[in-house]
Amino acid sequence: MARALAAAIAVSLLAVSGAGGAGAQTPKRGGAVVVAWEGPGIPPSCVIARFVEPACPNGFDARLIHLVLAGTLAVRAEGWSPNVASRITLTRDPFTVTLRIRPEAQWSDGTPITAADYVFSHRVYSRLFPPDRYVWAEVARVTAVDAKTVQVARSEPSSAWQFQTGVFPVSPRHVLRGEDPSEVWERAIENPKTGKPIASGPFLLQRFQPGRELVLVRNPRYWGPHPYLDRLVIRFGLNSADALLRGEVDVVGGSGGNDLAAAVEFVDRPQPGIRLIDGPGDAWEHIDLRIGSGGHPALRSKLVRRALVYGIDREAIVRELFSKSAPSVRVLHSTAFFSTERGYRPNWARYRSRPREARRLLAQAGCQRGADGIYACAGKRLSLRFVTTAGNHVRERTLELVQEQLRRIGVEVVPSYVAPAALGPFLDLGDFDAALFALRKDSPGETGSWPYSCAEPERTANRTGYCSRLFNADFDQLRRIVHPARYATVANRADRRLALDVPVIPLYVAPRLYAYRESIRGIRPTAFSSSWWNAENWWLER
């Protein structure tokens, strides 16, 4: 016990205000906003996925459900912040996460949110969900310390505790006792005994019509700042500029992808009464260099790889691609964190465009420039096969720019385009020199550098062939670090190792672009959530 107390760490998570965009005007209550569904895939067929049978496997994810069932933590661009839990205390040996529930936190029927809700929810969901789909599958025990304090004991320390705590679906014990949540909440989130909606978040789920829309209404007993809108509607299948112009929806866009989704049409064709706003998405664009077998032998030289990153003008690429459509985009100087995150350090900022330095490094590596201006290294022409996604105009233009820039330092780029569905299997074969694609980062505070480890389980995702004992050691340590600040320190150390070895070249965080009616205030894009992440702070200017 003394050892556990000595290892106790109090984690202070700063709350973040979400009322931006209102300026000096006074927010008004009332009205409704209709948002186009952002997901490129199949719309949800049920509210909470049913895993006990395949009738309803496609449910909402936490990004939307947390408007109704408030998360223990709230995801923000800079990291996780307090929400239902106002204070989190960690102990290392044994590893426990103790959550202090806000005194004012309550369900929409006035019943307090208590530790008993957490104990009940874990018991129910651990039976209902298969282990690979349950965020608390590693939890050994959930204990109510008192009415407003719950302790979660885990089998071993894990850096994933913030994500797993933040997305845990806390459900109301007093209305679901004896019920199967996936059954009674297939089409609604309500008290099955009364048929009335129930929520712990800022909105109540009033109606769900699969394939059409989800209708949320203000929760009048929300324990946080009360929402301004009377109603928020999520409408499926209408994420297009035409739907916005026809008045069928009020907000479109949000997806990254080929052309920044529906909102990009308004960049070249501005419309009265329509505003555009851009922000970071959840994926970072980069170039992987194939160091392993199948790649150009010159890429095994660290000097050659450094020459490439000095030869690529990342600032010029970002300006060319986004100065008009998404002006907030900046060069990403990290493989570990986005620039909005607390842990971000610009470890790659040294690599500004320096063609002269690039040529010097190629010469130092023993490469000789030919009569046509292209270097040869160890007798092999420095002609690199660059592969990227076919039909993705942003990546195709990026590759054109890279080709022009590297030609100036004496490197030939031979473009190759692969269908989106075939790109992953193609890269797994390793028969390429450089690959331009994006990696997703699903949660703030967790490093995005994991694909460059050659240790399990990341090994299968490492398309570069890069393998560093020191980098692997950092990642092995990261899995067990529970304090966010210490985690960021080690993740940045690993990122600095990558910046020295250059198996990858980070470019930028792929943006999201939204178009919406100018009467809407409070919309603030963020990397790790949908457009509606702060919908309780939206209001209508009238």
Q: Are 69 and 201 in contact (CB under 8 A)?
A: yes
- CB count in 10 Å sphere of residue 32: 14
pLDDT at residue 18 greater than cutoff 60? no
User: What is the C-alpha separation between 170 and 179, in angstroms, rounded?
Assistant: 15
Element (H, E) at 36: strand 32-36
- CB count in 10 Å sphere of residue 179: 15
Q: 226 is written with which tokens?
A: 């009360």
pTM, two decimal places: 0.90
Strands 73-76 and 213-218: unpaired
Tell me: the pLDDT tens digits for 313-352?
Answer: 999 999 999 999 899 999 999 999 999 999 999 999 999 9
pLDDT at residue 386 greater than cutoff 50? yes
Residue 40's pLDDT band, with cuts at 50, 70 and 90, is low
Q: What is the pLDDT of residue 333?
A: 98
Q: 387 is written with which tokens?
A: 């592969």
Average pLDDT over residues 190-204: 95
Length of the chain equals: 542
Q: 453 is written with which tokens?
A: 């480890």
**What's the distance, CA 36 to chain centroid?**
20
Q: What is the pLDDT of residue 268?
A: 83
Tell me: the pLDDT tens digits for 216-229?
Answer: 999 999 999 999 99
Q: What is the mean pLDDT of the chain?
A: 89
User: What is the C-alpha separation between 201 and 512, in angstroms, rounded?
Assistant: 25
Listed in sequence order, the residues at least 6 apart from 369 whose beta carbon sits closer than 8 Å to its beta carbon are 359, 362, 375, 376, 410
Q: Delineate the domains of the chain, giving CATH numbers in brackets.
A: 2-237 (3.40.190.10), 282-511 (3.10.105.10)
Tell me: the pLDDT tens digits for 201-259?
Answer: 999 999 999 889 999 999 999 999 999 999 999 999 888 899 999 999 999 987 654 44
Q: What is the pLDDT of residue 260?
A: 56
pLDDT at residue 360 greater than cutoff 90? yes
User: What is the C-alpha separation between 121 and 508, in angstroms, rounded?
Assistant: 39
